[in-house]
Chain A
Amino acid sequence: MQLVIASGKGGVGKSTVTASLLYLLKDEYRFVAVDADADAPNLDLLLGVEHWEEERELVGAKVARINTESCIRCGICQERCPYDCIKVIDGDYVVSELTCEGCNVCGLVCPVPGTITLEEVRSGVVRKTTTRYGFPLISAQLDVGRPNSGKLVTEEKEWAKKLMGELGLKHMVVDSAAGIGCQVIASIGGADLTILVAEPTPASLSDVQRAYKVVQHFRQPAYLIINKADFNPGFMALREWAEAEGIPILGEIPYDRAIPRSMSMLKPFVEAFPDSKAADAMREIAERVREEILR
């Protein structure tokens, strides 16, 4: 089974919840964890990973380059670039490598053949390790300024599938990226279900509603975990929304200083502070995941 944990935006504790859930399920289930937030991966940090067993460079990303020698400075490329990535610097037409999407429109419209070339650049790395908890983790890191590509996530999931075959693992748990863009779509697409994590604030509600639309797009079931549940007592809209949509609430985690403290210790909070209120709540959630999802 492939399950995804998503939130619509970072900062609501999705990865800390994921790390603790993995910790609680590790003895009973055989799974591979995938950190699909290639833009800002952190599951490895939360699981205390210190080195990678294997790293693969991902090339694939493309950027345009302009040969200033043959360029006749007609400006057509700049006019036609759909994303405004071509600037004039000291009289030369220059592609901004950090924003170029690599579509090659400039190359197609340039009247001087060979002046604009599309070059492959590294988009990031995909890497694998075995965590100290015994299960493998696949993670990726996008290089600074590269397109926030869903391809990286697809690559990660393919590697994870291969590992499942090799190691006889039953499940894949994907910690999705923030937002609702291509990485999230690549995370949720092809999964069996999504667990949404949200906190009771208007901003988090708005974000999770958007993530839920992506889940609906793929016609998957969704569950909800409410984090920092007691943080905003008057705010009922999150629970009401879940109820109206028929999204089962797997549990509510109270705000607990143990969570930020465990993050500095680079450990799942259920491991670092097993006696905390948050850990109690998390164990109940894991129980429901066992009963209702992983049966």
Chain B
Amino acid sequence: MQIAVSGGKGGTGKSTIAINLAIALREHYDLVLADLDVEAPNDHLLLGVELANEEPVELFMPRFDYQKCTRCRKCAEVCEEHAIITMRDGTPFLMPNLCSGCAACEIVCPVPGAILPGKKLMGHTYLTETPYGFPLVTGRLLEGEERAMPIVSRAKKRAQGLEKELLMVDTAAGTSNTVSKALEDSRLIIAVTEPTPLGIHDGELILKLAKLMEVPAMVVVNRSDLGDVAKVREIAEKYGAEVIAEIPYSENIIRSYVEGKPIVLTDYPEAGLFREIASRVVEFLGGGE
């Protein structure tokens, strides 16, 4: 089964909550954490591990055999990304940056062998052991590449392939379709938000997405003393979600972050908050030992 930690906007402390929750949950489940914020993956930094077991994510990219190509332009016409331009005589050229690797051009090309399956590297996935008793799968988009979707989907598959009792995904910020891809198949979404006007605005969007996807959501309010938690409750209620924890702004959390020591493993009182979130999750999922 799968649960997700997501948040409307970046910097709400989503990754901090994800790693601490993962550490707290490993006492209940055999789990894997997947960092699917592929444009800026950070969970490994917070866990203090170096990414390992790199696997490339390569996508199809058409290469034209101009000896065989009849200049019929079908490939250019079918390309939804307008990644193929044609010269006046119909000669196709690829603009690699726009290509999504979908292979539609190859499917429609009427001349066998006129389009050859080239490959382009989009990014990597990693499988890293952590000292906390669970592995971390990370997806990482290559700088200069635009398409996060294939990396999210491949990293998620890699994590699913481990067949752990619990897959916990940490998504990117926002509500685009790569976030939906990460959230897909979740039994529960933990939406991390701040009680500021900006946080509430973005938090509402993620609850909206959860609702559209028909996944139950719980809300964790981070830096809860920097705003109006009642407003967050109001929004949560509107979407049938419950606020399960309030984490005040805390120097201890910052300190533990800077020291690379997850707060849940310290004696600071904040550690208890994360254990409580974990027990709410366990209660909801009705599992574990």
Contacts and interface: CB of A to CB of B under 8 A. Distances in A.
Contact of B184 (A99, A118, A210, A263): A99
A139 B273 CA distance: 37
Contacts of A206: 40, 42, 45
A207 B40 contact: yes
Contacts of A147: 149, 176-177
A201 B258 contact: yes
B107 A105 contact: yes
A11 B11 contact: yes
Interface in A222-246: 231-232, 234-235
Contacts of A203: 15, 40, 42, 45-46
Nearest to B143: A213
Interface residues of B, number: 58
Interface stretch (B25-33, B193-201, B235-243): B193-201
Contacts of B146: 150, 181-182, 185
Contacts, number: 174
Contact of B40 (A45, A150, A180): A180
Nearest to B199: A263
Contacts of B176: 39, 142, 145-148
A101 B10 contact: no
A254 interface: no
Contacts of B285: none
Contacts of A62: 80
A260 interface: yes
A150 B149 CA distance: 14
Interface in B9-48: 9-12, 15, 39-40, 42, 45-46
Interface of B: 8-12, 15, 39-40, 42, 45-46, 60, 78, 80-81, 97, 100-104, 107-108, 141, 143-144, 146-150, 153, 172-178, 180-181, 184, 196-198, 201-202, 205, 208-209, 212-213, 223, 226-227, 254, 257-258
14 contacts: A8-B40, A11-B9, A46-B198, A99-B180, A102-B80, A108-B107, A144-B208, A144-B209, A145-B175, A148-B176, A148-B178, A181-B141, A185-B146, A217-B144
